[in-house]
Amino acid sequence: MRLLDYVKNDLGLSAYKDSYLLRRLNSRMVRVGTTSEEEYLKLLKTSRKELDALKDALSINVTSFFRNTEVWDKLKELLKCKSYVKIWSAACSEGREPYSLAIICEEIGTKADIIATDIDEDALNIAKKGEYSNVEEELSYLKSIDRYFTTQNGKVTVKPFLKTGIRFIKHNMISDPPPSRDFDFVLCRNFLIYVEQEHKPVIAQNIAKALKKDGILVLGKTETLPTEGFFEPLDRVNKIFRKV
Residue 97 binds ligand SAM (CB under 6 A): yes
Stretch of residues binding ligand SAM (CB under 6 A), selected from 11-19, 29-37, 150-158, 229-237? 11-19
How many positions of this chain bind ligand SAM (CB under 6 A)? Answer: 24
Closest CA to 85 of 210, 183, 212, 167: 183
16-22, long-range: CB < 8 A, 24+ apart: 16/58, 16/194, 16/195, 16/196, 17/194, 17/195, 17/196, 18/196, 20/194, 21/58
- Binders of ligand SAM among residues 110 to 139 (CB under 6 A) are 118-120, 123
- Binders of ligand SAM among residues 135 to 174 (CB under 6 A) are 171-174
Closest CA to 88 of 193, 192, 146, 169: 169
Pattern 19-48, ligand SAM, x by CB under 6 A: ------------------------------
151 or 175, CB closer to ligand SAM? 175
- Binders of ligand SAM among residues 49 to 88 (CB under 6 A) are 60-63, 67
Report in angstroms how near the CB of residue 234 gets to ligand SAM at its nearest. 19
Report in angstroms how near the CB of residue 191 gets to ligand SAM at its nearest. 4
Report in angstroms how near the CB of residue 38 gets to ligand SAM at its nearest. 25
Task: Quote the strand ranges of 21-119, DSSP E.
Answer: 84-90, 111-118
**Residues forming a β-bridge with 112:** 85
Report in angstroms how near the CB of residue 57 gets to ligand SAM at its nearest. 13
Residues near 44 by Cβ (< 8 Å), separated by ≥ 6? 3, 6, 7, 50, 51, 54
φ, ψ of residue 18 in degrees (nearest 5)? -55, -45
Full DSSP string of 163-191: HTTEEEEE--TTTSPPS-S-EEEEEE-SS
Stretch of residues binding ligand SAM (CB under 6 A), selected from 77-85, 130-138, 153-161, 188-196? 188-196
15 or 87, CB closer to ligand SAM? 15
Q: By the criterion CB under 6 A, which residues form the site for ligand SAM?
A: 12-13, 15, 60-63, 67, 91-93, 97, 118-120, 123, 171-174, 189-191, 220
